[in-house]
């Protein structure tokens, strides 16, 4: 017998991992070193994976499995890096996210 199920927590995790590079771009500046951004992305991947596994355990009434949360951090990070280099960077969304709150790129016009 074969079944096909999609765990809602895993779908949420996949959706979060697609926008994590943009979130990193929003909280960093254009002058931030790439290594710092990679570490921040890895930490956000770990945090979202742990929280998603915790929320799934609460919703299903099961025991929280820390190993599952840790294991989900790797594919979350890989999907986020793939989204950054495969989609967000080529279309300029990553750069635009970084420039959004950068003082050097925002033009403020005063009312006369």
pLDDT in tens, 33-92: 888 888 999 999 999 999 999 999 999 999 999 998 999 999 999 999 999 999 988 998
CA dihedral sign, ordered 34, 19, 54, 56: negative
Residue 65 CB neighbour total at 10 angstroms: 13
Residue 105 is assigned to a structural domain of this protein = no
Q: Tell me whether residue 53 is in a domain.
A: yes
- Whether residue 10 is contained in a domain is answered as no
Residue 32 is assigned to a structural domain of this protein: yes
Q: Is residue 48 part of a domain?
A: yes
> 108 in a domain, yes or no?
no
User: Residue 75 is part of which domain span?
Assistant: 17-99
In order of 22, 59, 83, 111, the CA distances from 93 in angstroms are: 7, 34, 11, 30
pTM of the model: 0.78
How many domains does one find in the chain?
1
Residue 11 lies inside a defined structural domain of this protein: no
> Does residue 110 belong to any structural domain of this protein?
no
């Amino acid at each position: 017998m074969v079944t096909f199920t999609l765990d809602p927590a895993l779908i949420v995790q996949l959706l979060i991992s697609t926008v994590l590079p943009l979130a990193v771009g929003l909280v960093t500046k254009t002058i931030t070193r790439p290594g710092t951004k990679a570490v921040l992305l890895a930490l956000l991947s770990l945090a979202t994976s742990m929280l998603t596994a915790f929320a799934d355990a609460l919703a299903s009434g099961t025991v929280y499995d820390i190993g599952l949360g840790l294991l989900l951090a790797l594919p979350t990070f890989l999907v986020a890096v793939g989204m950054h280099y495969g989609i967000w960077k080529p279309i300029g969304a990553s750069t635009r996210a970084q420039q959004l709150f950068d003082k050097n790129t925002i033009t403020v016009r005063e009312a006369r």
